[in-house]
Structure 1
Amino acid sequence: MHNKAMRTLEFHKIKEQLLTFASSSIGKEKAQQLEPSVDFQEVVKWQEETDEAAKAFRLRGNVPLGGIFDIRPHAKRAQIGGMLSPGELMEISSTIRAGRVLERFIAELIEDGHELPLIAEYMNAFSPQQDLQKLINNAISENGEVMDSASEKLRALRNQLRTNEARVREKLESMIRSSNAQKMLSDAIITIRNDRFVIPVKQEYRSSYGGIIHDQSSSGQTLFIEPQVIVQLNNVLQETRVLEQQEIERILIELSAAVGEHTHELLQNVKILAHIDFMFAKAKYAKKLKASKPLLNNEGRVKLFKAKHPLIPPDVVVANDIFLGEDFTTIVITGPNTGGKTVTLKTIGLCTLMAQAGLQIPAIDGSEAAVFRSVYADIGDEQSIEQSLSTFSSHMVNIVDILKQMDHDSLVLFDELGAGTDPQEGAALAISILDEVYKRGARVIATTHYPELKAYGYNRQGVINASVEFDIETLSPTYRLLIGVPGRSNAFEISKRLGLNESVIENARGYIGADTNKVENMIASLEESRKQAEEDREEANDYLKQSEKLHKDLQKQIMEYYDEKDSMIDKAAREASEIVEKAKREAEEVISELRKLALEKNAEVKEHELIEARRRIEESAPAVKKSKKAAVKAEKREWQPGDEVKVITFGQKGHIVEKVSSDEWQVQIGIMKMKVKESDLLFIKSEKPKETKHLATVRGKDYHVSLELDLRGERFETALSRVEKYIDDALLAGYPRVSIIHGKGTGALRQGVQEYLRNHRSVKKIRFGEAGEGGTGVTVVEFK
């Protein structure tokens, strides 16, 4: 990758921001060494690693990465026989422990059913080294000191030290509490000089105590003397200290040797922990930028949706859609300064470098990035008031270097191409340079002031004009990139808005050639047409979406209706069959009893017995309930637009829109309008007069809720918010089940939606859609 281009695009600032999210020094070192890769498979793997880390971070909200140290120097020194300090040994123990905690954390995620194959592969190579950690912890405290429990000998020596110190202090305390002490001592305290206990004696009484003088005060009036009576005790104490230090060194050498035996494993662990920390640093950085994982290709195709410059504060940055490499390979952005042309160049350049470095890009889901063999950028000070020959020369040196090295697998960014020299010569050079880059098949975006390049985009296949929108009303750029529309000069309009005399402006127009005026008028017409087309397209898209949703809802409702109808018919048939069978059994019993009576009495059956038998047979016949639905006659009244009515045929409520004929009205039910005869209408209530104050609207059961929610293209947080609101609306509408379309993609959105649904109190069951319902790109939700 071209180092100068990375400096020009300020990729080092991206790394500086990334550094702040690493938890350890070895993670920061890994982030500092970050460079974009030109190997497609390697870039794919890096992006998958970042996505896995982002998934784990999103699921738990935090990752245990504390207590990791750079123990590589310690391990290497131990390997060659060096003695490690207690602090260094404690750092080794802490790093081993941190790795084991992280290992358990990842294992728990996997046990919960979350797939993290790449992270799991790294952690499988991690060597726990539990025995080494236990050996160090038994000897070294958390404060980095060798503990008494490190060995029996050390415990005995330290007990002896404490006993001897107590004897020395006891002897000295008796001396400083004596009757003469206040007169002979500068202060009644015991202190230490040269690791031996001493007392501060006034100069004139030095002979009263004898012993050894170890130090004196700055004034010379006080001597720090070790009295003769405790010299022997101090000697014993010092000998014991020497033995203690020898035992401590023996313990440290033994522990260092144990570390040296596992140097290879420890260095491998450091490498793994550094990479894991680096992966999670990228995930945290992606969350801060609200970035997403790009789709990757090695065909030079770039599609960035709502892309933002990562180094511009989020409250002022403007998102843009940028496309390159499919229908066209060259974009020429024209227009005045301060409009955002250079920001657009840097946005696509930085997004490309970030994607090839395994970083997620500041654009929404579905964006696509290409893996280029090289990225070149000639971006100078686009806000310079004076561009001298030296500036032109500097640009040309860069351009010459770029033309020597670039090929078909390159992304080239030119800012103010051809600027800094005679306009005609500069424009000619710019066109020639663009032709050369285009012939070699590279992807190129160039910005320029020259009006001649506006025609360049019209005359070359694979080349398109673009501009950055400028609002004449506010006299400021909107920073919106307009692909397909060349930039135009706004000097006359701005001057007019600022109050310049109309005659001066008209006089200035006369100095401009007819061709230039035609081009400017054409551009103005294109802008106006584009704005109108965008408005019409948005309105048409809204109608289309509503129509498609209504069509799908009606289809589902009709299918559910027929399913319910068939179910009810089957149920009615079964019940009718049971009733008939019961009636037959009753009739058989009555006939049997009649025969029995005739035989028993040997005579004809009496009339009243026949009447009783007939009554029983009649009672056994099934009773048919008459439908409660009766024809509803329309009331004779004066219908008015806005009246709330019920369409009897459909059993749905709606509002009258307008009269169609003498006996027909147009009625709106939900978002659907239809013609209905007066005889099929049942009046409910008239439209209430409009109030001046707007009251809060409460959605009732008649509010139309779609049976599907489409989340494709949404950011993760926004999608979950929409799911939460949609589930509440669907429950209010009384739906038994709904579908949520999340697409297949990386699976992150699907996983997050299903996690939310599993924990929702009103959700009975969730499943993927069938083959005809969208497969794994759709989750079907059934309510309790």
Structure 2
Amino acid sequence: MRVDNNPKIDTLINQLDLSEHIALFKHFFSRETSLYIEGDQELHYRYIKALDAIEFKAPPKVADFTNSKLHLKKHGVLQFEQIFEIIKVVRYFRYFKNKNLEGIIGEWMEKFVIEPKFLEVEKYFTHDGKFDENLDETLFGLSAKIKEHKANISSSLKRLTSSQKISPYLIDAQVHLVNDEECLLVRGGFNHVLKGAMVGRSSSGGFYVSPDVILKTKEQIRYINEEREAIFYTYAKEFSSRFAELLPFINFADKEFTKFDNYQARVLFAKGRDLQLIKSKKDSKIILDGFIHPALHHAKPMHVDFSKNILMITGVNAGGKTMLLKSILSAAFMAKYIIPMKLNEHKSHIGNFKHVLAIIDDPQNVKNDISTFAGRMQEFSKIFEHKDALVGVDEIELGTDSDEAAALFKVILDELILKGHKIVVTTHHKRLAALMADRDDVELMAAIYDEQNRVPTYEFMHGIIGKSYAFETASRYGISNKIVQEAKILYGDNSEKLNLLIERGSQLERELKQKHKKVDEKLYELEAKERDLKEEKIRIFQELQKEKNALKESYKIAIDEAKNAARAGDMKAIHRAMNEANKKLPPEKKEPKIAQIVEFKVGENVKYHSKKGVIIAMKDKNEAIVEVDGMRVRAKTSQLKHTQIIKQKSTTEVKLDVQKRAGLKCDLHGMRAEEATEVLDKFISDALINGWDEVIVYHGIGTGKLSYAVKEFLKAHPRVKKFEDAPQHMGGFGAKVVTL
């Protein structure tokens, strides 16, 4: 079924106020196609959801290939524009293939193997579809000649404008382009001084004249262009011949692009307008949570549980009954065609129906001499021709006596149920609702009315029959209280059954308030638990700090013992002291993992995949709307990372592996002065980092140059307190003991 060519579907779209939504959706397609995706809807939905999880650029606008493929099949010659349309599709698939995606999208892209023959044609077209004349020596030369001739024409015209003979007749000194002809704008009488062809008149009465002096050059350009066109035709013929051989590949690319176009349009439409992707399930249950009809702006989200066979909507005038009916039918229609919509996709459930049928408008028509009720009967008779449909009827008793209609429509609804239909009806009257209220397969919903302020709330309550509030509405719109009171007396009391149902509604409302109270209490308990968790986190952190401080103190004792051993100058004693120090270090203890609760707020900078963006809205704690590169993206908070990290004061980092610390001596023997100072600089830095306050540097005696460089360096170093020649047994004049 092709939605675009089906008048009944177009009528349904108009009836459900979806025309603007569908029109916006179609703008995301690369080329005109059906809204319905032929084939396995479950498989299509898997591809759509997989595509929704990745970032990609929209495909280019592409023409239909039908005529081009027909020409190739008959060995015809395609125009460059038709050839480039095919190239655009293949280039886009190459772009997607080069993303090296995983999963079903990656597997799909692997099926595209581009033939070398195709590449031989593609290389002749630039990114914007122009033929690259630089690849053909003859064309390149002809283009150069045309440029040369055009330069000559420009020079000739400039000479004419500067001519003293012609200048009195010139209206301006510009070169004009009229009807693709270069010309001058002159006054009357120009023919005495200028020979040429008049190509037009100006609004001020001047004449656009193409001088004869450039005719010869323009004729030469025309001959060159004819030669170029002949070469272009030769290429087009050659390219078409190669594409004819690649017709199976082109058919495959065309078919797959149509399918991909259906997928990407849904994904980008949903992302661009913050909508959700949901498809119909394999049953007839309808549960809508947070649904907003596309035609409504700043509307209250709707919550509907329509699991039974019939949903009867009653209540106040202008309370939203008709829009609720349209919303239920619209959700079913859009889910059937996987058209993005606004709702909570995780809590909603939409069944699948062969047909979605609506009886909404008044069928009365002067031309066909048909009454409202007769027209309704005609529409109902057509519904009996279908099976397993979702049917919506607005004002079911419209056009006839409500008592008779109640009996008639009760039987009609029973028969429609037997044919597998699921039915939504709205009514102002309570007769039919009262007849069917005690049935298990009937769900009641009533529009809620604010009696105190005497206005509809556009909200609904399950399980009750709503009052129409005709008297209250009349008073609100200026009917006198005397008339309203007399009408109330004439109306009398409602039937006992209706009173019981209305009382049941009040009872349900009280039960709903109790449930809200329980939910609030549960929320308070959860908040208390959250506070306890935060306090536990602080306590664990303090214990961790305490253990770190103890470890730091123990480490300091171990280091001091190692330093004392180092001052003795005995390497064996150093090693013994280091071993003893290691024994005194406490055993390594794993730090307890503290659960990090990452919270996101509106306005925070975040990173989504490889893109940076800003949170512009929070749907709940687990989902956010992020603006990335000018586009709004719906993302889980688990996929987001903060880009502004708040650095906390960190405690002193303690390393346990003492043997890997820097040494106490630095040997510079054999080094040049420049190299030695670099090594010495790093050695002193390492010694300072590791806590040494005394080290020894060996430089030898030699020529004295290295010794001099070391002294000068140590004098200039800001962290060197003093230095002196080492004792005789530690190197004497060939070494320095440095105090840090």
Q: What residue is the counterpart of 1:421 in the other structure?
A: 400
Match of 1:485 among 464, 475, 488: 464
Counterpart position of 1:301: 285
**Alignment match of 1:52 (pick from 43, 50, 53):** 50
The CA deviation at 1:331 is 1.7
Per-residue displacement from partner, 1:231-280 (whole Å, max 9, x unpaired)? 7x998777655544433332332233333333332343233333323322
Contact 2:463 2:508 in 1 (8 A): no
Residue 349 (1) aligns with residue 329 (2): yes
Q: Following TM superposition, by how much is the alpha carbon of 1:203 offset from its aligned partner in structure 2, in angstroms?
A: 5.9
Quote the residue 1:321 is aligned against.
Answer: 303
Aligned mate of 2:638, from 754, 768, 775: 754
Which residue of 75, 98, 101 corresponds with 1:104? 98
1:280-299 aligned within 5 A:
280-287=264-271, 290-294=274-278, 296-299=280-283
Residue identity opposite 1:308 in structure 2? I
- For residues 563-601 of structure 1, what are the alpha-carbon distances to aligned partners after superposition, in whole Å with 9 as ceiling and x for unaligned? x99xx9xxxxxxxxxxxxxxxxxxxxxxxxxxxxxxxxx
The residue number in structure 2 matching 1:535 is: 513
**Per the alignment, do residues 168 and 300 of structure 1 end up closer, same or farther by CA in structure 2, a change over 3 Å counting?**
closer
Deviation at 1:347, TM superposition (A): 0.8
- Alignment counterpart, residue 436 of structure 2, candidates 448, 457, 467: 457
Cα deviation per residue 1:285-323 (whole Å; 9 max; x = unaligned)? 33466443447432311111122222222x1x2322212
8 Å CA contact 2:73–2:244 kept in 1: the answer is yes
Cα offset, 1:128, TM superposition: 4.3
Structure 2 contact 31–63 (Cα < 8 Å) conserved: no
Q: CA separation in 1, counterparts of 2:327 and 2:397?
A: 22
SS at match of 2:639: helix
- Which residue does 2:238 correspond to in 1? 254
Query: Does 2:44 match 1:43?
Result: no
Secondary structure of 2:94's partner?
Answer: helix
Query: What amino acid is aligned across from residue 636 of structure 2 in structure 1?
Result: G
Alignment partner of 2:425 out of 439, 446, 450: 446
Counterpart amino acid of residue 259 in structure 1: F
TM-score (norm 2): 0.61
Gap runs ≥5 in structure 2? 547-594, 600-614, 625-632, 648-740
Q: Which residue of 2 aligns with 1:331?
A: 311
Q: 1:22-63, CA deviations, whole angstroms, 9 ceiling, x for partnerless residues?
A: 667x63412xx21488x8xx333333333333322xxx3x52
How far, CA to CA, are the matches of 1:129 and 1:173 in structure 2? 52
Question: For the residues of structure 2 that align with 1:221 and 1:717, how far apart are their CA atoms?
Answer: 60
Whole-Å Cα distance in 2 between the matches of residues 503 and 164 of structure 1?
95
Matched, 1:120 2:95: no
Residue 759 of structure 1 deviates from its aligned partner by 7.4
The verdict on how the C-alpha distance between 1:240 and 1:263 changes in structure 2, with shifts beyond 3 A counting, is same
Mapped contact 1:72–1:270 kept (Cα < 8 A)? no
- What secondary structure is seen at the aligned counterpart in 2 of 1:20? helix
Q: Aligned pair in 2 of structure 1 residues 718, 540: CA closer, same or farther (>3 Å)?
A: farther
Asked if the contact 2:58/2:264 (under 8 Å) is kept, the reply is no
Task: Write the distance in 1 (CA, Å) between the matches of 2:169 and 2:473.
Answer: 96
Give me the whole-angstrom Cα distance separating, in 2, the residues matched to 1:94 and 1:485: 59
Give the letter aligned to residue 425 of structure 1: E
CA RMSD of superposed structures (Å): 5.5
In structure 2, C-alpha distance between the alignment counterparts of 1:287 and 1:376, rounded to whole Å: 30
Paired residues of 1:50 and 1:359 also in contact (CA < 8 A): no
Equivalent residue letter for 1:405: H
Letter of the structure 2 residue corresponding to residue 99 of structure 1: F
How far the C-alpha of 1:363 sits from its partner, in A, is 1.9
How far apart, CA to CA, are the structure 2 residues paired with 1:348 and 1:265? 43
When residues 560 and 330 of structure 1 are mapped into structure 2, their CA distance, relative to the original with a 3 A threshold, is farther
CA distance in 1, matches of 2:153, 2:482: 107
Mapped partners of 2:173, 2:291: distance in 1: 76
Amino acid at match of 2:95: V
Aligned with 2:32 (options 21, 29, 32) = 29
Matches of 1:333 and 1:309, distance apart in 2: 17
With over 3 angstroms needed to count, the CA separation of the structure-2 counterparts of 1:73 and 1:545, relative to structure 1, is same
Identity percentage of aligned residues? 20
Q: What is the deviation of 1:424?
A: 2.2
Aligned residue for 2:457, secondary structure, equals strand
SS in 1 for 2:257: helix
The verdict on how the C-alpha distance between 1:69 and 1:425 changes in structure 2, with shifts beyond 3 A counting, is: same
Counterpart AA for 2:93 = G
Match of 2:343 among 360, 363, 381: 363
- 3-state SS in 1 of match to 2:453: coil
Alignment of 1:475 onto 2:475: no
Does 1:8 find its partner at 2:12?
yes
- Counterparts of 1:635-646 in structure 2 under 5 Å? none
How far 1:221 sits from its partner (Å)? Answer: 11
Q: Does the 8 A contact of 2:30 with 2:62 survive in 1?
A: no
* Distance (Å, rounded) in 1 between the aligned partners of 2:322 and 2:179: 70
For residues 63 and 223 of structure 1, do their structure 2 counterparts lie closer, same or farther at Cα, with a shift above 3 Å needed? closer
Contact 2:449 2:457 in 1 (8 A): yes
Amino acid at match of 2:350: A
Q: Distance in 2 between matches of 1:520 and 1:342?
A: 23
Matched AA of 1:63: K
Q: Distance in 2 between matches of 1:181 and 1:462?
A: 96
Task: Trace 1:93-172 onto structure 2 (pairs within 5 A).
Answer: 93-105=87-99, 107=100, 110=102, 115=103, 117=104, 119-128=105-114, 132=118, 135-138=121-124, 140=125, 146-158=131-143
State the 1:520 CA deviation: 5.4
Summarize the Cα distance change of 1:222–1:276 in structure 2 as closer, same or farther, 3 Å threshold: closer
Letter matched to residue 341 of structure 1: K
Q: CA, structure 1 residues 76+358, in 2 after alignment: closer, same or farther (shift >3 Å)?
A: same
User: In structure 2, what residue type is equivalent to 1:46?
Assistant: H
Q: Higher relative CO (CA 8 A, sep ≥ 6), structure 1 or 2? A: 1
Q: Which moved more, 1:552-561 or 1:153-162?
A: 552-561
Give per-residue Cα distances to partners, 1:421-472, cap 9 Å, x unaligned. Answer: 1232222212221222234443212122222123223332322322111222
* C-alpha distance in 2 between matches for 1:721 and 1:338: 32
Pair 1:221–1:461, CA change in 2 (3 A): closer
Which one is further off, 289-298 or 246-255?
289-298
Corresponding position of 2:355:
374
Amino acid in structure 2 at the alignment position of 1:104: N
1:352 positional shift: 0.6
Rounded Cα–Cα distance in structure 1 between residues aligned with 2:484 and 2:223: 102
Q: Aligned AA for 2:259?
A: H
Q: Distance in 2 between matches of 1:182 and 1:357?
A: 70
* Partner Cα distance (2:276, 2:30) in 1: 22
Bigger CA drift: 354-363 or 190-199? 190-199
Report the 3-state secondary structure (helix = DSSP H, G, I; strand = E; otherwise coil) of the residue aligned with 2:30. Answer: helix
Amino acid at match of 1:126: F
Query: In structure 1, what residue type is equivalent to 2:57?
Result: V
1:63 counterpart (53, 57, 66): 57
Letter in 2 for 1:753: T
How many Å separate the matches in 1 of 2:229 and 2:12? 58
Q: Which residue of 2 aligns with 1:658?
A: none
Determine if contact 2:434/2:498 at 8 Å carries over to the other structure.
no
Corresponding residue number in structure 1 for 2:708: none
Q: Is the 8 A contact 2:312 2:444 kept in 1?
A: yes
CA deviation digits over 1:40-90, x for unaligned, max 9? xx333333333333322xxx3x52423645455445435544444444444
CA contact (8 A) 1:78 1:260 kept: yes
What is the rounded CA distance, in whole Å, between the counterparts of 1:368 and 1:129 in structure 2?
45
SS of structure 1 residue aligned to 2:424: strand
Secondary structure at 1:511 match in 2: helix
